[in-house]
Amino acid sequence: MQIDVLTLFPDMFAPLTQSLIGKAVEDGLLNLNLIDFRQYAHDKHQHVDDTPYGGGAGMLLKPDPLFEAMDAINEQDARSKRVILLDPAGRQFNQAAADELAHEDHLVFICGHYEGYDERIRTLVTDEFSLGDFVMTGGEIASMAMIDATARLLPGVLGNSVSPETDSFQNGLLEYPQYTRPAEYRGMAVPEVLQNGNHQLINRWRLKESLRRTYLRRPDLLEGLELDKDAQKLLREVRGEEDSKAAAARLNLDND
C-alpha cells in the first residue's frame, strides 16, 4: 500500500517508524511518503494560510499549495486513490472504515491546521473523516491513528493472521477478556473453562463474555447487530445474569 501524507509537520510522524508499522515499512508492505506542502507555497516566506474573505477569526489554508502537492502526487502515480481530509465535520472513523481503507492501493491524507480550509480544497477529496466530537490543533495525530488502524490490517503486518479477526469491533462486539500465566495471581484466578482444553466450551465462553462486555460497556453496538440463534441465546443469558446482579446490589444497598 502507498500512503502519502500532506502535512506541515512531517517530523510528528516519527511514531510510525516504530513497532509493527515501522517494520511493515521496512519489509516493503507499506510505503509511507511524508510531504511538507509548504514547499509548494509561492512567496518567499512560504505562507500556506491567509485571512478569510468576509472577515472572521483565524486563518485558512490556501488552496494552491495543496492543489499543487496533489498534482505532484498524481504525476508520480496516475492510479485512482482515496484522498482523505481530516475534519471535525467528517464521517466518524471506526473499525469498519479501517477495514475498508485497508483494501485500497493508495491513500492520501490531508492534515489541516489553523482555523480551517479554503472550501475549494474539498474538491480534491474523496473522503472526510473525524476521530470524534472534539477539535484538535491539526490533523496529524488523527491521521496517524487512522494509518495505524488501517495498516495493521494489511496482509503480513501482524505476525498472527487470525489476530485482526478477534479484535474489538471487528465483528461488531468488544473483545472478550484474555489471560496468560500464572493461572492464579494475588487471589485472582484464570477462569477454569480456559484451562480445560475444550475448545468448543472456550469459544462459547469467549462469545458470551464478548457479548457481556459489549452489553455493559457499549450497548449501542448491539442495536441493529445481526446475531445468530446461539449468540441471541447467550445475550439473553447475559442480560438475565446482569439484571440479577443489579437487583442484588440494589437490595444490599437498601439493607445498608
Judge whether 88 counts as a catalytic residue.
yes
Q: Provide the strand spans (E) within the chain.
A: 2-7, 31-36, 49-50, 60-61, 82-92, 106-110, 116-117, 127-130, 184-185, 188-189
Does residue 167 have an active-site annotation? yes
Structural contact between residues 47 and 41, judged by C-beta atoms closer than 8 angstroms: yes
Choosing from 64, 100, 148, 167, the catalytic residue is: 167
> Cα–Cα distance between 194 and 111 in angstroms, integer?
45
Q: Is 184 a catalytic residue?
A: no
Is 224 known to sit in a ligand binding site?
no
Which of 36, 64, 104, 115 is catalytic? The answer is: 115
146 is in an annotated binding site: no
Going by C-beta distance under 8 Å and a sequence separation of 6 or more, which residues neighbour residue 15?
A: 144
Place of cell 518567499: 44
* 136 annotated to bind ligand: yes
20 is in an annotated binding site: no
Residue 135 counted as an annotated binding residue: yes
What is the rounded CA–CA span in Å between residue 201 and residue 193?
7
Residue 131, annotated ligand binder? yes
Q: Active-site residue among 4, 49, 140, 152?
A: 152
Out of 88, 118, 148, 175, the active site residue is: 88
Residue 221: closest CA among 94, 87, 72, 131: 94
What are the binding residues? 112, 131-136
Annotated binding site for S-adenosyl-L-methionine: 112, 131-136
Q: What are the residue numbers of the active site?
A: 88, 115, 152, 167
